[in-house]
Amino acid sequence: MRILLNSLVLLCLCLLSLPGEAKKLYKYQDETGGWHYTDKLPTAEKSKEIKLEVRQLKVATKQRVSLKQVGEKRQPEFVIRNDYFGPVEVEVAFSEQDNVQAKPALPRKFVVQPGVSKPLFGLGAIDEFQGWRYALSYRYSLGEPTARHNTQAIYIPPFASYKKFQISQAFNGPFSHTDEQNKYAVDLAMPEGSEVHAARAGVVMSLENDYFKGGIDKQAYKERANSITILHDDGSMAVYAHLQVDRAQVYAGMRIGVGQLIAYSGNTGFSSGPHLHFAVQVNQGMSLVSVPFKFSDNQGKLSQPKAGQWLSGFDVSQ
């Protein structure tokens, strides 16, 4: 009897599993007081003149959903581990199948809450007197498949109350808002280090905080953006992307109030310049799809974001 188990993970929202990379991050302050991040060690002469901090980074996306075998070798069962702080939908299928069957039958989709699921399916030989072999694959998407975005939900501009920023790219923007994940996204032109506040209350489902480079090479940078994903009560998720390295003000699993400081804007990942990328997404058919939303002003008036529009932050407590 020969049993094979392979795991093929197809991730949404730019979370492809990659080999680990160990890098050093050098942080220094120039003569004008500005802070810089680089993976290149400043020259010895320069190092004497500046305040230098060094930290070790492991810049690799994390495999947060995994298929695990439990039970006996001849009658294996499988559980799914979900390390996100919110639900995921997982589809499991045979990629190779010889004299083996699953109960319940595969392919099948499962909704898995945070943590380790109960046994979801088992395998066994069709003919117990013959050898059997198999390989399994799985893919997943963040979010409940039944989630429906509340079209009346209020989103405040995602920055400090005393600031104004312009929308550089809105819905269906020609540069990067052309696919389903980003069709209804908004880019706000913000200098690096600007405060980013929660547009709507929720729970931090996941965050990336260790990337420190950006550029317009899509292949090189599309999975290298610092981001925070916040799960809302209706099952939709807000994505705040291109954030500054190592400046997240929240942690995964933390409940966030509307208007709360969560991070600082940056220029990490696939980006042509410093800005904040903001989108609201739901899981539709095992894919993340962006949905339209409206920003509120301080008078409670709702409006669909438009390219070139200036937004003003406001204090929700007043």
Could you read off the pLDDT of 254-306 as tens digits, one per residue?
999 999 999 999 988 867 789 999 999 999 999 999 999 999 999 999 999 99
Structure-token pair, residue 9: 């993970």
Calculate mean pLDDT across residues 234-256: 96
pLDDT of residue 204: 98
Q: How confident is the model at residue 176 (pLDDT cuts 50, 70, 90)?
A: confident
CATH second-level architecture of 9-13+62-142? Sandwich (2.60)
Q: In the chain, what percentage of residues exceed pLDDT 70?
A: 79
Residues with Cβ within 8 Å of 5's Cβ and at least 6 positions away in sequence, in order, are 69, 134, 135, 136
pLDDT at 230 over 80: yes
pLDDT of residue 256: 97
Q: How confident is the model at residue 13 (pLDDT cuts 50, 70, 90)?
A: very low
Please report, for the chain, the start and end positions of each structural domain, with discontinuous segments joined by +: 9-13+62-142, 22-58, 164-312
Calculate mean pLDDT across residues 207-220: 78
Q: Which of 26-30, 96-100, 212-216, 217-221 has the highest mean pLDDT?
A: 96-100
Question: In DSSP terms, which residues pair with 108 in a beta bridge?
Answer: 92
Calculate mean pLDDT across residues 76-88: 98
Gap between the Cα atoms of 206 and 30, Å rounded: 33
pLDDT of residue 25: 56
Q: What is the mean pLDDT of the chain?
A: 84
Structure-token pair, residue 132: 């059997």
Answer whether 138's CB lies under 8 Å from 92's CB. yes
CATH fold of 164-312? Glucose Permease (Domain IIA) (2.70.70)
From residue 183, give the alpha-carbon distance in Å to each of 6, 40, 132, 153, 237.
34, 36, 46, 19, 15
pLDDT of residue 74: 85
Report pLDDT digits (tens) over 15-73.
323 333 445 555 556 666 665 566 555 555 454 455 555 554 555 556 899 999 998 88
